[in-house]
Amino acid sequence: MTLALTDVVLTYPDGDRTLTALDHVSLTVAPGEFAAVVGPSGSGKSSLLAVAATLITPSEGTVSVAGQDVSRAGQAARTRVRRDHIGIVFQQANLLPSLTALDQLLVMAHLAGESPRTASSRARELLLAVDLGGKEHKRPHQLSGGERQRVNIARALMNSPAVLLVDEPTSALDHRRGEQIVSLLADLTQKNDLATVMVTHDLATLAMVDTVLSMSDGRLSEGAATQVA
């Protein structure tokens, strides 16, 4: 399994009590599988993504990414696993205002110590894959919201990740552009054999995913929730 969370518990201090954000959560996502997580505000969806991204270490349970158990790994090892195997798409594109679409991707490769020539051809291929051919030299303010989100997705794929974690990719987009982005994610998941987890409030897009999971009070279950905030 490319991504496996087993019996994960995550608590946060809450005054003189503790708040259980993830309550014995287990999740497996196979290569080429597109899973969506829905659930009300505060139910633990972002916490789940943060644990899967190795950004937070859970209090209990194990997290395995691309066959490596990272739950008890130190900071350096977790950073390495994240850099080598995980792509993260945040809700807002967080692009650097002065850089072109191509350079947004090349920065990632530069940080990873990749040669500019290999990186440049890979970045161009990815921009084509997200349908931004011809827009490589546009800066964020010259792109639409949907196009910026496509750059964001292409950037997350620069390290050829095994796991793609996506937080509310459609929240800043209208319905049609939102559907196009989720359809693109489904396509990229298949073509690149990604294990993709997407947190979403957008129930209209669930027809495009393989697995729907619901979070409620820190618990995860299969199937769409009847009520999503």
Which residues of the shown chain bind ligand ATP in the complex (CB under 6 A)?
12, 19, 21, 39, 41-47, 215
| Structure-token pair, residue 7 | 């019996």
Residue 3 Cβ, how far from ligand ATP at the closest point, in Å?
Answer: 17
CB atoms within 10 A of CB 7: 12
**CB-nearer residue toward ligand ATP: 44 or 87:** 44
Question: Considering the complex, what minimum distance in angstroms separates the CB of residue 51 from ligand ATP?
Answer: 10
Backbone angles phi, psi at 129, to 5 degrees: -60, -30
Q: What is the nearest approach in angstroms of ligand ATP to the Cβ of residue 11?
A: 9
Closer CB to ligand ATP, 66 or 228, in the complex: 228
Q: How far is the CB of 172 from ligand ATP (least distance, A)?
A: 14
Please identify, using beta-carbon distances, which residue of 56 and 102 lies nearer to ligand ATP.
56
**Which residue, 19 or 96, is less far from ligand ATP as judged by CB?**
19
**Nearer residue to ligand ATP within complex by CB, 12 or 133:** 12
* Beta carbon nearer to ligand ATP, 41 or 75: 41
Phi, psi of 178 (to 5 degrees): -60, -45
Q: Where do we find the tokens 């990186």?
A: 119
Beta strands in 15-159 (DSSP E): 17-29, 34-38, 60-65, 68-69, 86-89
Strands 3-14 and 219-222: unpaired
Q: How far is CA 144 from the centre of its chain?
A: 21
Q: Distance between CA atoms of 122 and 138, rounded to whole angstroms?
A: 18
The least distance separating ligand ATP from the CB of residue 178, rounded to whole angstroms, comes to: 16
Sheet with 68-69: list strands edge to edge: 17-29, 3-14, 60-65, 68-69
Q: How far apart are CA 172 and CA 14, in angstroms?
A: 31
Rounded to a whole number of angstroms, the minimum distance from the CB of residue 204 to ligand ATP is: 17
Lay out the sheet containing 219-222: strands in order across.
86-89, 163-167, 195-199, 34-38, 211-216, 219-222
